[in-house]
Amino acid sequence: MREIDVSVVTQTVKELCIKANRVLPQDMCECIKRGAAAEKSPVGKSVFDDILDNLKAAEQETLPICQDTGMAVIFMDIGQDVHFVGGDLEEAVNAGVSAGYTDGLLRKSVVSDPLERVNTGDNTPAVLHIRIVAGESVKIVCAPKGFGSENMSQLKMMTPSVTREEIVDYVVNVCAQAGSNPCPPIVIGVGIGGDFEKCAYLAKKALCRPVSQRNPKPLYAELEQQILDKINKLGIGPQGFGGTQTCLAVNIEQAPTHIAGLPVSVNVGCHVTRHAEAEI
């Protein structure tokens, strides 16, 4: 049994919140550069230049990449041989988010009630997903999610009779409806299977997978490429100004489901699809 003081969790979450909002993962940066090189539209190329300049400025000036520093989504894989001491784990996570957004001078965008709309003042509480795994370590992923893209996301409870083409068309249609709203070029996370809430979780988790990694199952890897190609034929282009590079990557995560269902969810990520991770 390994003991971990929750103060370590707080400090780690704080650092991840700040890092994720200031520096994109390297594979995401490389993907944007490839998109810039592939873009056919002169206006689209100009937008890509602005995006790349913004990424560089954010890192050099230690500023957020985007003014919407998002709602903090925290994924924790906790080893079953870990025992947390020194306080409550969820409180420790939220303390880390609070410190990260306050000390990091990040915009605080969370309201305590969806109808009363009173800002909590420190971007808490986080959306916390906990998974128990083997071992005695803790992996923490912080994925700040802005709502320009989150608002464009959708979920549909399909039936098992749905065809592969219908699934592809549904995902592409979500992106067509989104248009310029999610600040393209976008990254698309797709969840297939599970039940209603599991499917949405899969799509969000898919956005945390490196964009350079394809689904290990050929069936889904092929679907990822097919959906990507179709989205890029929409012609929406960078920031909606038209072009050939509307989407940078499509990541699919799948799970077992019920014999009577086939849920499909689409979580839209903007070109600032942020996440940072650490292990303690």
Evaluate if pTM is beyond 0.85.
Answer: yes
Across the range 198-219, mean pLDDT stands at: 97
Rounded Cα–Cα distance for residues 140 and 34 (Å): 29
Over the stretch 182-206, which tens digit does the pLDDT of each residue have?
A: 999 999 999 999 999 999 999 999 9
**Residue in the structure block whose two tokens are 């940066």:** 29
How many other CB atoms are there within 10 angstroms of residue 160's CB atom? Answer: 10
pLDDT of res. 15: 98
Band the pLDDT of 222: cuts 50, 70, 90: very high
Over the stretch 39-79, which tens digit does the pLDDT of each residue have?
A: 999 999 999 999 999 999 998 999 999 999 999 999 999 99
Compute and round to an integer the Cα radius of gyration of the chain. 19
Query: Which distant-in-sequence residues (6+ apart) come within 8 Å of 215 by Cβ?
Result: 221, 223, 224, 251, 252, 253, 254
Band the pLDDT of 83: cuts 50, 70, 90: very high
Rounded Cα–Cα distance for residues 106 and 187 (Å): 23
Rounded Cα–Cα distance for residues 58 and 246 (Å): 23
Band the pLDDT of 218: cuts 50, 70, 90: very high
pLDDT of res. 193: 98
| Residue 186 token pair | 């976008």
Average pLDDT value over all residues in the chain: 97
Phi, psi of 125 (to 5 degrees): -85, 160
